[in-house]
């Protein structure tokens, strides 16, 4: 049962003051900072191979460093650390205050690298063109996850300004998250001894079911990314001459994809891609479904003649099943292709090869490397027509299932949500993948883990017209302050 929010020591005046201070800093300082941040094409190394020469990641981390350095925090240490051959991190250490000065510490996580541009942005905007409109800041990276370093500092400052005791706060801001955080483990090994006894990890890099309450992420799916290439010829030939004799590599690719999932339903076929769903997660999915209802599927930008209500979904419109589909069941997407000319440039040629970028989301408890090996086995063995087929995994990330929430954290979340939204906190798994959570969980196994964020309906992280909901972000900042102080 959820703990009563009125058991939390915060008064209504204190919580109101935290929100007032956080909102003031957002309006005066953070929004202008994020407008400048959006302008930086600080693409993650996976999307900008020569990121050092481009210099955008360094510009982003230097902007964040200047902001943190300018804050009136007593006795803070701050440094940009760059290990040889790796993307840099921003690390800051703020001593605790009052009665909590010598207790456990809080690790505040964020990242500054970004996803690539994507097509489809509104005509007056673009990924690097910030637009402030109707309380939303449009542009790449503001909500995912550039705001985190600014918001966490604002939370600490609000607590200190109100004289509320808080634990030691440590910030670790990386620049490789969108590439799978492959540079993070060496930094954790280097810095963990300096972090003390970490009792709470806060990551502001996740989603929200709506903008009407605080949401805590309970699980994250894993991800297998890779390229499947089908080769049949050494060069293209006339389709009229070869058609009916030489199989199309696209047709072979279709057959191979059907080994992974059912084309009609999207359900994956191999038991390797499945895991048992914990009872607690099913209960939480039902609770979230009661809150969200049809918003679970209506939130997406469907294109149809009659609108989204006319759709028959591949499985059902039951929000409980849809929540479990996107959080605890595997799903395959084809996110890119090579070997296919544009329609305008395509001739009557039977092409020599087709390469498809596969993105397979897997349940939180399925091992990523095992899943990648299974994809490779499925598509490479006994290929149709003896086609030459290869699957090369770019990454294989295992998901994350949150440890049980301690009673004090449940109380703090409900208290914060009630104060700022008038509703208790809600809990929901996310379909995306955040590899660093597994890394942080392994490094700090005794710590509580709070993953939350501002990516609510229509926020469209990774896609066109990504936006940050500013009013919601202000409340998440104040809620973060309350949770920090509750440790």
Report the alpha-carbon distance of residue 229 to residue 390 in Å, rounded.
5
Q: Indicate if the pLDDT at residue 6 is higher than 90.
A: no
Which pLDDT score, from 0 to 100, does residue 305 have? Answer: 55
Task: Tally the domains of the chain.
Answer: 2
Q: What is the pLDDT of residue 395?
A: 87
Looking at the structure, tell me whether residues 159 and 80 fall in a common domain: yes
Quote the domain boundaries for residue 95.
5-220+399-486
β 77-81/89-94 pair status: antiparallel
Distance between CA 15 and CA 230 in Å, rounded?
59
CATH of the domain at 426: 3.40.630.10
SS3 (DSSP) at 199: strand
d(CA 224, CA 180): 11
Is 0.75 topped by the overall pTM? Answer: yes
Q: Are 128 and 170 within one domain?
A: yes
3-state SS class at 395: strand
pLDDT tens digit sequence for 395-451: 899 999 999 999 999 999 999 999 999 999 999 999 988 888 888 988 999 999 999
Is residue 216 located within the same domain as residue 226?
no
Would the pLDDT of 219 be above 70? Answer: yes
| Whether residues 227 and 200 fall in one domain | no
Distance from C-alpha of 135 to C-alpha of 286, rounded to nearest angstrom: 31
Q: Are 249 and 353 in contact (CB under 8 A)?
A: yes
Specify whether 208 is located in the same domain as 311.
no
User: Does residue 144 sit in the same domain as residue 193?
Assistant: yes
Answer yes or no: do 52 and 65 share one domain.
yes
Mean pLDDT of 98-120: 95
Task: Sort 104 into a burial class: Cβ within 10 Å, 0-12 / 13-18 / 19+.
Answer: middle
pLDDT in tens, 275-302: 999 999 999 999 999 999 999 998 888 8
Provide the CATH number for the domain around residue 372: 3.30.70.360
DSSP state of 97: B
Kindly state whether residues 79 and 203 are assigned to the same domain.
yes
What 8-state DSSP symbol labels residue 184? H
**Of 397, 426, 447, at which residue does a domain stop?**
397
Instruction: Mark whether 126 and 162 lie in a shared domain.
Output: yes
pLDDT tens for residues 324-347? 999 999 999 999 999 999 999 999
460 and 393 housed in the same domain: no
Strand partners of residue 426: 215
pLDDT tens profile 134-172: 999 999 999 999 999 999 999 999 999 999 999 999 999
Task: Tell me whether the omega of the peptide bond preceding residue 397 falls within 30 degrees of 0, making it cis.
Answer: no
In this structure, are 214 and 107 located in the same domain? Answer: yes
Radius of gyration (Cα) for the chain, nearest Å?
24
**Domain C-terminal end among 373, 397, 421:** 397
Domain stop point among 397, 425, 459:
397
Strand order in the sheet with 168-174: 77-81, 89-94, 168-174, 105-111, 198-204, 448-452
Residues 386 and 432 in one domain: no
User: For residues 64 and 58, what is the distance between their CA atoms, to the nearest angstrom?
Assistant: 10
pLDDT average, residue stretch 48-77: 97
């Amino acid at each position: 049962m959820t703990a009563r929010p009125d058991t939390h020591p915060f008064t209504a005046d204190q919580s109101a003051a935290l929100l007032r201070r956080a909102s003031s800093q957002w309006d005066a300082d953070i929004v202008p900072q994020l407008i400048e941040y959006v302008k930086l094409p600080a693409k993650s190394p996976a999307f900008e191979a020569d990121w050092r020469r481009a210099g955008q990641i360094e510009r982003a981390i230097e902007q964040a460093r200047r902001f943190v350095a300018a804050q009136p925090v007593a006795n803070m240490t701050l440094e940009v650390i760059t290990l040889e051959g790796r993307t840099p991190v921003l690390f800051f250490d703020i001593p605790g205050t009052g009665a909590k000065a010598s207790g456990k510490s809080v690790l505040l996580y964020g990242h500054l690298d970004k996803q690539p541009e994507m097509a489809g942005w509104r005509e007056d905007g673009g990924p690097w063109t910030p637009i402030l409109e109707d309380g939303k800041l449009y542009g790449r990276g503001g909500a995912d996850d550039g705001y985190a370093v600014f918001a966490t500092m604002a939370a600490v400052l609000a607590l200190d300004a109100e004289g509320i005791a808080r634990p030691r706060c440590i910030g670790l801001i990386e620049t490789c998250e969108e590439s799978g955080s492959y540079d993070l483990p060496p930094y954790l090994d280097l810095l963990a001894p300096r972090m003390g006894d970490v009792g709470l990890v806060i990551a502001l890099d996740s989603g929200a079911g709506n903008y009407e309450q605080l949401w805590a992420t309970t699980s994250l799916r894993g991800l297998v990314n890779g390229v499947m290439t089908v080769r049949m010829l050494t060069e293209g030939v006339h389709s009229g001459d070869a058609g009916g004799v030489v199989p199309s590599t696209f047709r072979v690719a279709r057959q191979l994809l059907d080994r992974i999932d059912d084309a009609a339903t999207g359900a994956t076929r191999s038991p390797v891609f499945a895991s048992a769903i914990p009872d607690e997660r099913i209960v939480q999915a039902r609770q979230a479904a009661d809150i969200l209802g049809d918003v679970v599927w209506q939130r997406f930008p469907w294109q149809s003649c009659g609108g989204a209500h006319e759709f028959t979904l591949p499985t059902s419109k039951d929000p409980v099943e849809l929540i479990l589909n996107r959080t605890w069941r595997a799903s395959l997407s084809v996110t890119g292709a090579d070997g296919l000319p544009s329609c305008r440039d395509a001739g009557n040629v039977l092409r020599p090869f087709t390469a498809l970028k596969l993105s397979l989301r897997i349940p939180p408890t399925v091992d990523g490397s095992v899943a990648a090996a299974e994809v490779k086995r499925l598509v490479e063995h006994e290929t149709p027509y003896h086609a030459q087929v290869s699957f090369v995994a770019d990454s294989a990330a295992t998901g994350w299932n949150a440890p049980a929430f301690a009673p004090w954290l449940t109380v703090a979340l409900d208290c914060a949500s009630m104060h700022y939204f008038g509703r208790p906190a809600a809990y929901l798994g996310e379909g995306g993948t955040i590899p660093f959570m597994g890394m942080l969980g392994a490094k700090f196994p005794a710590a509580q883990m709070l993953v939350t964020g501002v990516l609510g309906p229509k926020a469209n992280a990774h896609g066109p017209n990504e936006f940050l909901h500013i009013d919601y972000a202000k409340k998440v900042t104040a809620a973060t302050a309350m949770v920090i102080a509750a440790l």
